[in-house]
Amino acid sequence: MLNNRPHASVSPSAMGVTSASPVITYVSDEQRARMLAFQSFKFKHSLAPKNLMPLDKVKDLTREMLAQKRFSQIYSRIGAQELAPQNVFDALTALEALHPTDTWVRLQDVDAVLPEFRDVVEQFYADLSELFQRNIKAEVLRPFVTIFVSSPGETTPYHIDHTWNFLLQLSGSKTVHLFDPTDPNVLQPNDQEDWYCRRRGVVQQPGTTGIAYRLDPGEGVHHPVNAPHWVQNYDEVSVSLSLGLCRHDSTRKAKIHQTNWLLRKAGLKPKPPGHSPRGDQIKALIMESMSNRHPKNFDETLYSGFNRILSPARFLKRVAERSRPS
């Protein structure tokens, strides 16, 4: 049973709540108020005491991912050098050194490899549905389940993500600095448009401050969609589990941004998302009609339609450039 949850107004079965042990075990009154306002909030979880992902198990998971040739789901670097997926064990070995520095490993879609992560995702849906009193799973296109392993003192630069994200600390400690994505001084529509269309990173604006959430094992923090953030590790190797929920509404908004960008390139001045419900509906339908209906990964989920529209234009541009007299 979750602590400090709202009084039930929807039947547990309708929300998908199961009788399994909750993943989210506690949300304070203060953080619950932030949660219900769809802001960032901190919570406690049950996964760290279960030792779900020690470094040895990270290695086992990595071996299995390599054996299954899931190379696109493995990313690692040592310093500024990005490693080939097949060399990820160089980074994992570096993390076991006495004083590892500037090393980072990301393993994506781990729920497709280990059944226990699929169980965690299903229970997490149930926990969120009970907390929010809505069927959260019905609002989600698909989850992206990721393991992050990083060295002591490692800093993740300021950036935004597309998912409605929940970061659960499994071992080590870090501070997540989260900024309000609804504050126009922090994030503007053109920032989101550039990110969804040109994958251009956002920059922290002078004078803006976020909330610093320290995460120790057994603690987690929620990142609202597009909430800018940066992360600082403490003096141990950090292992975190990211449950990134790709929501239908935020994905639809991303496609509106993409259509707006294309219209802008054509010399028009489209309205930002939320300013014209009818216009938003048409823009989303245009991009959705071009998108992969059964996306296999994050890029296909977000960019398949946009890339299909751009491909002919890019082809014609290349032909025109080649046909110019030298």
Residue 317 has pLDDT above 90, yes or no: no
- Residues contacting 190, CB < 8 A, separation 6+: none
The alpha-helical segments, DSSP class H, found in 133-276 are 189-198, 248-265
- Whether the pLDDT of residue 166 is over 50: the answer is yes
Residue 17 has pLDDT above 70, yes or no: no
Dig out the tokens for 3 from the structure: 């602590």
pLDDT tens digit sequence for 174-220: 999 999 999 999 998 889 999 999 888 999 999 999 999 999 999 99
Per domain, the residue ranges of the chain are: 12-247, 249-323
- Domain 12-247 class, CATH top level: mainly beta
pLDDT of residue 325: 63
Give the closest residue to 251 by CA, choosing from 221, 293, 211: 293
pTM for the structure as a whole: 0.88
State how beta strands 24-26 and 211-215 pair. unpaired
Q: Kindly give, in sequence order, each residue whose CB lies less than 8 Å from that of residue 78, ignoring residues fewer than 6 positions away.
A: 90, 91, 94, 102, 103
Residue in the structure block whose two tokens are 């979880």: 45
Look at residue 13 and tell me whether its pLDDT is greater than 50: no
Indicate whether 324 pLDDT > 90.
no
What pLDDT shows up at residue 140?
Answer: 97
- Spatial neighbors of 181 by CB under 8 A, at least 6 apart, are 160, 187, 224, 225, 226, 227, 228
319, pLDDT greater than 60? no
Q: What tokens were used for 67?
A: 């054996």
Q: Rounded CA gap, 141 and 238, in Å?
A: 29
Length of the chain in residues, anyone?
Answer: 326
Predicted confidence band of residue 9 (pLDDT cuts 50, 70, 90): very low
What is the Cα–Cα distance from 58 to 56, expressed in whole angstroms? Answer: 5
Query: Has residue 18 got a pLDDT over 70?
Result: no
d(CA 228, CA 180): 7
| The predicted structure's pLDDT at residue 37 | 94
Per-residue pLDDT reduced to its tens digit, 67-126: 999 999 999 999 999 999 999 999 999 999 877 789 999 999 999 999 999 999 999 999
How large is the average pLDDT for residues 152-181? Answer: 96
Mean pLDDT, rounded, for 132-140: 96
Q: Count Cβ neighbours within 10 Å for each residue of 117-155 and write b for 16 or more, e otherwise.
A: beebbbbbbbbbbbbbeebbbebbebbbbbbbbbbbebe
| Closest to 166 measured CA to CA, from 227, 256, 91, 98 | 227
Asked if 71 contacts 87 with a C-beta cutoff of 8 angstroms, the reply is no
Mean pLDDT across the chain, nearest whole number?
89
Percent of the chain with pLDDT over 90: 78
Q: Say if residue 92 is exposed, middle or buried (CB neighbours under 10 Å; 0-12, 13-18, 19+).
A: middle
Are 149 and 160 contacting, i.e. CB atoms less than 8 angstroms apart? no
**Coil vs helix vs strand at 223:** strand
Question: What tokens appear for 19 in the block?
Answer: 């009788």
pLDDT > 70: percent of the chain: 89
Residue 4 pLDDT greater than 70, yes or no: no
Q: Taking Cα atoms as reference points, which of 168, 153, 146 lies closest to residue 75?
A: 146
Mean pLDDT value across residues 29-42:
96
